[in-house]
Amino acid sequence: MAANDTTPLIEKRSIDYIPEAERHGRLFSQFTLWMGANLQITAIVTGALAVVLGGDVFWSLIGLLIGQLIGGGVMALHAAQGPKLGLPQMISSRVQFGVYGAAIPIVLVCLMYLGFTATGTVLSGQALGQLFGVSDSVGILIFASVIVLVTVLGYRVIHFIGRVASLIGVVAFVYLFSRLMSQTDVGALLQIRHFSWSSFLLAVSLAASWQIAFGPYVADYSRYLPSHTSSVKTFLAAGAGSVIGAQVAMVLGVFAAAMSNGQFAGHEVAYIVGLSGTGATAALLYFSIAFGKVTISTLNSYGSFMCIATIISGFRGRLEVTRLQRLVFVLMIVGTATLIALLGQHSFLGAFKSFILFLLAFFTPWSAINLVDYYCITRERYDVPALADPNGRYGRWNLLGISVYVFGVLVQLPFISTKFYTGPLVAALGDVDISWIIGLVLPAALYYVCAKKWHGTVPDHLILPKEQGASPITNELAAQA
Domains and CATH numbers, the chain: 27-353 (1.10.4160.10)
Are 36 and 292 spatial neighbours (Cβ–Cβ below 8 Å)?
A: yes
- Give the integer Cα–Cα distance in Å for 78 and 66: 19
> What is the chain's mean pLDDT, rounded?
83
Mean pLDDT computed over 311-323: 71
Least confident of 95-99, 182-186, 250-254: 182-186
- The pLDDT of residue 189 is 81
- Give the integer Cα–Cα distance in Å for 95 and 69: 27
The pLDDT tens digits for 402-458 are 999 999 999 999 988 877 788 898 888 777 778 889 999 999 999 999 999 887 788
**C-alpha of 135 from chain center:** 29
Least confident of 42-46, 119-123, 394-398: 119-123
What do you get for the CA distance between the two ends of the chain, in Å? Answer: 19
pTM here is 0.85
Q: What is the 3-state secondary structure (H, E, C) of the chain?
A: CCCCCCCCCCCCCCCCCCCHHHCCCCHHHHHHHHHHHHCCHHHHHHHHHHHHCCCCHHHHHHHHHHHHHHHHHHHHHHHCHHHHHCCCHHHHHHHHHCCCCCHHHHHHHHHHHHHHHHHHHHHHHHHHHHHHCCCHHHHHHHHHHHHHHHHHHCHHHHHHHHHHHHHHHHHHHHHHHHHHHHHCCHHHHHHCCCCCHHHHHHHHHHHHHHHHCCCCCHHHHCCCCCCCCCHHHHHHHHHHHHHHHHHHHHHHHHHHHHCCCCCCCCCHHHHHHHCCCCCHHHHHHHHHHHHHHHHHHHHHHHHHHHHHHHHHHHHHCCCCCCHHHHHHHHHHHHHHHHHHHHHHCCCHHHHHHHHHHHCHHHHHHHHHHHHHHHHHHCCCCCECHHHHCCCCCCCCCCHHHHHHHHHHHHCCHHHCECCCCECCCCHHHCCCCCHHHHHHHHHHHHHHHHHHHHCCCCCCCCECCCCCCCCHHHHHHHHCC
- Give the integer Cα–Cα distance in Å for 215 and 93: 12
- Give the integer Cα–Cα distance in Å for 205 and 414: 16
- Give the integer Cα–Cα distance in Å for 87 and 134: 41
- Give the integer Cα–Cα distance in Å for 198 and 431: 6
- Give the integer Cα–Cα distance in Å for 410 and 372: 19
**Overall residue count recorded for the chain in this entry:** 481
Q: Read off the pLDDT band of 251 (50, 70, 90).
A: very high
pLDDT at 474 over 50: no
Phi and psi at 308, nearest 5°, equal -65, -45
Q: Read off the pLDDT band of 207 (50, 70, 90).
A: very high
Are 252 and 45 spatial neighbours (Cβ–Cβ below 8 Å)?
A: no
Are 423 and 433 spatial neighbours (Cβ–Cβ below 8 Å)?
A: no
Angle between helical axes of 27-38 and 280-316 (0-180°, round to 10):
120
What residue type is assigned to position 120 of the chain?
Answer: G
Nearest CA to 360 out of 400, 397, 411, 311 is that of: 411
pLDDT at 169 over 60: yes
Which CA distances in Å does 179 have to 46, 247, 261, 277, 444? 20, 18, 17, 9, 45
Nearest CA to 462 out of 481, 448, 447 is that of: 481
- Give the integer Cα–Cα distance in Å for 211 and 381: 26
pLDDT at 354 over 90: no
Least confident of 2-11, 94-103, 126-135, 214-223: 2-11
Better pLDDT: 400 or 156 = 400
- The pLDDT of residue 56 is 87
Residue 312: HSE in the Cβ half-sphere, 13 Å Cα cutoff: 17
- The pLDDT of residue 479 is 47
Q: What is the dihedral sign for C-alpha 359, 365, 371, 373?
A: negative
**C-alpha of 375 from chain center:** 20
